């Protein structure tokens, strides 16, 4: 099969022919149909976060089951599925207390003595997040997939694998936005746009989109933003405070920067909650005014939208099919696998919400 391989940091990915192993016990082989190009992949390609190389990136995918291993009874060949990094063991403290997205995934990986899932000329190629969606096939644990109705196009379904679940889930699950409250979303890429539309669905009375690009602010309005703030035209904190008379109830950071995380905390009012969704680079610290904690202001993180993905993702599919969740406008363009580096370049400039790889293109 063909796959896009990261050989060195800050270098173009190279498309190679790889060998994928057969499904072992509890494993599923999926024929990849579509994969979204997420900013998180770019973080690892840039070296902001570390992962062993060579590896096949990609963690936002959808496809069709081709084969199943021994003991698999959840899916069968022919089932359309979405993949998710939030594999869950069902036995640890986090799983048993309703937080499977924090599962440490013990017992879900191949034994070190077993053959690698991915190889090139007999040598190991690392599987990114146990998925590696930038490939024509994915060999994964059955607890990394969720069955979905064939009614949803798989290029839309792929987006639910990360961007939708992360942005929508941060609003619904992590922050639990209350109807009638005010929300600010800083960063209107794929995840930020999903946070915007989730805030609208949650019943927020005011949804303020913050970005530096006019095109993204315009797009945010189509996703439900009631107000927009151009961060290049002045201090976004002061602009949000002026719009709301003192600050918002909830803010969401959807970029992954020290500055914007600090701004999100600064733009909430007393009693408000700032939720950091973006992946701030490893080793970077954020600074807050300690005195503001006396106003019961809170800051928290969110990983993959605090998801319970086999429950949440089918619900998001239903919302899309009902016309209530906008996935169509998230797809900025379709690309081939060998155009992945151009997609990364567009992410760096902030030009797109999502480029989606179609494997049969």
Distance CA 224, CA 229 (A): 14
339 class by beta-carbon count within 10 Å (0-12 exposed, 13-18 middle, 19+ buried): middle
Q: For the chain, give the percent of residues with pLDDT over 90.
A: 89
Distances (CA, A) of 63 to 171, 262, 330: 27, 38, 19
Tokens (6 digits) for 241: 């405070």
Statement: residue 113 has pLDDT above 90: no
**Lowest-pLDDT choice from 34-43, 80-89, 265-274, 300-309:** 34-43
> 113 exposed, middle or buried (CB, 10 Å; 0-12, 13-18, 19+)?
exposed
Q: For the chain, how far is it from start to end, CA to CA, in angstroms?
A: 15
Q: Residues 220-257: pLDDT tens digits?
A: 999 999 999 999 999 999 999 999 999 999 999 999 99
pLDDT score at 321:
98
Q: pLDDT (tens digit, 9 = 90+) per residue, 151-187? A: 999 999 999 999 999 999 999 999 999 999 999 999 9
Residue 107, pLDDT above cutoff 90: no
The CA distance from 237 to 127, in Å, is 40
In the chain, pLDDT over 70 holds for what percent of residues?
Answer: 100
The string of pLDDT tens digits covering residues 182-211 is 999 999 999 999 999 999 999 999 999 999
Asked if 37 and 343 count as a contact pair (C-beta separation under 8 A), the reply is: yes
Q: Tell me: pLDDT of 347 over 90.
A: no
The pLDDT assigned to 47 comes to 87
The pTM (predicted TM-score) of the whole model is 0.95
Burial code (b: 16+ CB inside 10 Å, e: under 16) for 194-218 equals bbbbbbbbbebebbbbbbebeebbe
Of the candidates 117, 173, 113, 112, the residue with the CA atom closest to the CA atom of residue 144: 117
**Domains of the chain from N-terminus onward:** 2-147+327-358 (3.90.180.10), 167-303 (3.40.50.720)
303 band by pLDDT with thresholds 50, 70 and 90? very high
Question: What pairs with residue 287 in β-bridges?
Answer: none
């Amino acid at each position: 099969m063909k796959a896009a391989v990261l050989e060195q940091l800050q270098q173009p990915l190279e498309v190679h022919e790889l060998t994928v192993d057969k499904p072992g016990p509890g494993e599923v082989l999926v024929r990849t149909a579509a994969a979204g190009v997420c900013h998180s992949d770019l973080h690892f390609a840039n070296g902001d976060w570390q992962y062993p190389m060579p590896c096949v990136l990609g963690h936002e995918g959808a496809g069709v089951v081709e084969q199943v291993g021994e003991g698999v009874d959840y899916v069968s060949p022919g089932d359309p599925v979405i993949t998710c990094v939030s594999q869950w063991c069902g036995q640890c403290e986090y799983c048993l207390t309703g937080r499977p997205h924090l599962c440490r995934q013990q017992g879900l990986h191949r034994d070190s003595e077993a053959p690698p899932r991915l190889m090139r000329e007999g040598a190991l190629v690392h599987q990114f997040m146990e998925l590696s969606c930038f490939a024509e096939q994915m060999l994964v644990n059955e607890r990394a997939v969720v069955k979905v109705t064939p009614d949803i196009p798989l290029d839309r379904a792929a987006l639910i694998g990360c961007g939708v679940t992360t942005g929508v889930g941060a609003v619904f699950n992590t922050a639990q936005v209350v109807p009638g409250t005010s929300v600010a979303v800083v960063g209107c890429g794929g995840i930020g746009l999903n946070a915007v539309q989730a805030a609208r669905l949650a019943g927020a009375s005011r949804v303020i989109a913050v970005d530096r690009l006019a095109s993204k602010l315009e797009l945010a309005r189509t996703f439900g933003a009631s107000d927009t703030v151009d961060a290049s035209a002045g201090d976004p904190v002061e602009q949000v405070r002026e719009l709301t008379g003192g600050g918002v109830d909830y803010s969401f950071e959807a970029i992954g920067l020290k500055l914007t995380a600090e701004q999100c905390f600064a733009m909430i009012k007393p009693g408000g909650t700032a939720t950091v969704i973006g992946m701030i680079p490893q080793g970077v610290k954020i600074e807050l005014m300690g005195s503001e904690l006396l106003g019961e202001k809170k800051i928290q993180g969110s990983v993959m939208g605090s998801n319970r993905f086999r429950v949440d993702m089918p619900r998001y599919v239903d919302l899309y099919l009902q016309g209530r969740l906008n996935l169509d406008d998230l797809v900025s363009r379709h690309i081939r696998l060998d155009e992945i580096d151009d997609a990364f370049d567009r992410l760096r400039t902030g030009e797109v919400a999502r480029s989606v790889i179609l494997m049969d293109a």
